[in-house]
Chain A
Amino acid sequence: MERGVPVPSIGAKEARLAYAHVVISVLAVLIGGLAGLMQTLIRTGVIPEVFGYYQLLTAHGIMLGLVFTTMFIIGLLYALLAKSFGRFESFPTRVAWLGFWMIIAGAVLVTIMVLANKATVLYTFYAPLMADPVFYIGLVLFVVGTWLSAFAMFRMYADYKRENPGVHPPLPAYMSVMTMLLWVIATLGVAGTILFQLLPLSLGWKDTVGIELSRTLFWYFGHPLVYFWLMPAYIVWYTVVPKVIGGKIFSDALARMAFLLFLLFSFPVGFHHQLTEPGIDPFWKFVQVILTFLVVIPSFMTAFSLFATFELRGRALGARGLFGWVKKMPYGDVRFLAPFVGMLFFIPAGAGGIINASHQLNAMVHNTLWVTGHFHITVGTAVALTFFGTAYWLVPVLRGRTLTKSMNRIGLIQTGTWAFGMSIMSYAMHISGLQGNPRRTGPATYFSDALTREWIPYHIAMAIGGTILLISVLIFVYSMFNLSFLAPKGEEEFPLAETEEAAMETPRFFENWKLWITVTFVLIAFAYTVPIWHLIESAPPGAKGWVLW
């Protein structure tokens, strides 16, 4: 099979669709970042609790973990599909806009409920904490909106395949569809607990809720969610970064295979978030721990491909020795530097993830600030920095403007401040978490216990890190404004790399969606059927809902 060749530019309609999503994600970064800074300051006692601490924490999680990530990802994927396929047909475009407005409606309802202090349940909304029904309705609208976006993308992909028989759709399009497929299968779990458990409970249609079942459905979604954040970053690492450094994609086939393996290995693993919970047999916890670690394989493949790409390019530029390529990379280009720094952060982040997911090591870190530190360097740095670096060329492309030298320099400063602030903050979180400092906790003194007094310097470090991070957020928001409205008009390059000529042929079976979806569901059934049947069959009397804020 031939590989499809991306078409040169993006049409105005397609650009408007992608840009609308990116704008919302930038706003979410601003609001979520402010909430984050206020939390660190409240914990050190620098500022009083203007908003409730837990209300801010809820807003921070929803804005950054849900709105920023999801909106940026959907916007980026539309742009990649437009670049790969050319013009979108009018039907999927209408579905895409419907999805956009539904997501906005959901996000607005959720935000209003959080501001009104009627949904201070944190972004994990664990049962039997019971928010206002409108909060859950907002979440449903948000999720259904994203399903429409996914449907629009699947339809665009199917249209391309029908019009180009015998051609592999371009790599970025394949990866985009894989990402949205993962999202749709993952959100089935969270939709289940909201529609059948939490919403009926908060409407008063049901008196009680089965908590372990609800938590299991949540984490069935909650871990693949992490891959939904990472996979678009990987798309940029695989297909954009090689172009930015002037190189080529190491192997189209292996990149596709890595994404396929991410889909398969993301699902049957949710129990590693529930290792310390009652009611789940340790055997099934261990099965899911094993399955969790299988994701090491595509991660290792990704690491190899990226560094192979860097080395090949470095050699082409005359680098010698094992690490000669290090000197040849374009560190002065924000489109490279931001994702590259993100990759570096992902090395300790991945190691920390292995600790969290371990059957016994987890007991030392479960629900401590260590975990918070962990996801601030995974999604908060590896993913966020990659998205920032992407936004510096994506926004000018979508707006018909150019990334100027001065804006590039500002982008480098923003990358540096982000990496610096996050280093300080996540280091303090990891270390004090190991000492038992709990996560998701307001300004606590714990009877001025000697151990907890030792945590105070770490809280100060977190506040300093948080302040630097907010400065970085403000620079980013200004940059996006500048690149949207002030930067000189022109044509900015949409950097998508070609595949190395020596690379192998892409096998046909990667396109066998029916097969892969079936395998995915078989794996899910293997990992979840027995324990879920057990949770339902020997369930305790349900728990009633509580409003404790």
Chain B
Amino acid sequence: MHIHKLEKYWLVFGIILLGVFLTVLGISAFAAGNQPASDADLIDPAKVHQTAPFDKPGLHKIGDNEYELVMVAQAFTFTPGNVEIPKGAKVTFLVTSPDVVHGFQLTGTPVNMMVVPGHINSLTYTFDEAGEFLILCNEYCGTGHHMMATKIKVVD
């Protein structure tokens, strides 16, 4: 099939650009480990409050300045709320939901994941600066959706 010469150049240019872009994404994902939140752990949504570690939600120290923040997202609150975290801490967020789908977004950071009943989701983030962060629900979960938020205080 005949394709105009300039159109060939244009398509080759586009396909090369595509290749470069996908290579960058692939290296970032598989060599540098920047994968999106994709936890595979399962949980019974009806028994969240009785299942470890969600029976004791909170900030747990697991290493030298390394923490696990176990959190339940439930219409229309995050438990626990108003958590204080030491500066420089590496925190792994473990979140699940006993009811509907929620969002978990730490504003101004790439910590952004879906909280789906039946699944546990997780992401790790290091707090290099002191200050306040807002966690908000960014997936519609009912009429109180826009009230669903809490804060993280990073202290020296």
Contacts and interface: CB of A to CB of B under 8 A. Distances in A.
A126 interface: yes
Given A281-B40, A289-B25, A540-B43, A52 B119 contact: no
B103 A367 contact: yes
User: Which of B103, B138, B147 is the most central at the interface, judged by chain A CB atoms within 10 Å of its CB?
Assistant: B138
B10 A304 contact: yes
B38 A449 contact: no
A179 interface: no
Given A211-B116, A367-B105, A541-B44, A440 B29 contact: no
B134 A451 contact: yes
Given A54-B145, A360-B28, A541-B45, A276 B114 contact: yes
Nearest to B32: A360
A444 B105 CA distance: 15
Given A278-B119, A541-B46, A301 B11 contact: yes
A441 to B, nearest CB: 5
Nearest to B76: A548
Interface string B90-121: 00000000011101010110111110111111
Interface string A336-355: 00000000000000000010
A297 to B, nearest CB: 7
A282 B29 contact: yes
Nearest to B45: A543
B36 A359 contact: yes
Contact of B149 (A127, A279, A447): A447
A358 B14 CA distance: 17
A254 interface: yes
A543 B117 contact: yes
A129 B37 CA distance: 23
B1 interface: yes
A302 to B, nearest CB: 11
Interface string A292-316: 0110110011001000100000000
Interface in A512-532: none
Nearest to A117: B143
Given A507-B1, A540-B44, A212 B25 contact: no
B7 interface: yes
Contacts of B71: none
B45 A548 contact: no
B25 A254 contact: no
Interface stretch (A153-161, A198-206, A390-398, A431-439): A431-439
B40 A367 contact: no
A360 to B, nearest CB: 5
Nearest to B29: A359
B22 interface: yes
A548 B100 contact: yes
Chain B interface extent, by class: 35 or more
A409 B100 CA distance: 50
Given A363-B112, A436-B105, A438-B138, A549 B143 contact: yes
Nearest to B113: A276
A278 B40 contact: yes
A310 to B, nearest CB: 14
Nearest to A286: B29
A276 B36 CA distance: 6
Nearest to B3: A254
Contact of A452 (B112, B117, B134): B134
Interface string B36-69: 1111111111100000000000000000000000
Contacts of A129: 100, 141-142
17 contacts: A53-B146, A128-B117, A129-B100, A274-B114, A276-B36, A276-B37, A276-B113, A277-B121, A278-B121, A281-B38, A285-B36, A286-B26, A290-B22, A293-B21, A363-B110, A504-B1, A541-B45
Would you list the 7 A-B pairs with minimal beta carbon distance, nearest first?
A548-B142, A540-B118, A436-B107, A444-B146, A278-B119, A438-B138, A367-B138
Interface of B: 1-4, 6-7, 10-11, 14-15, 17-18, 21-22, 25-26, 28-30, 34-46, 75, 99-101, 103, 105, 107-108, 110-114, 116-121, 132, 134, 136-147, 149, 151
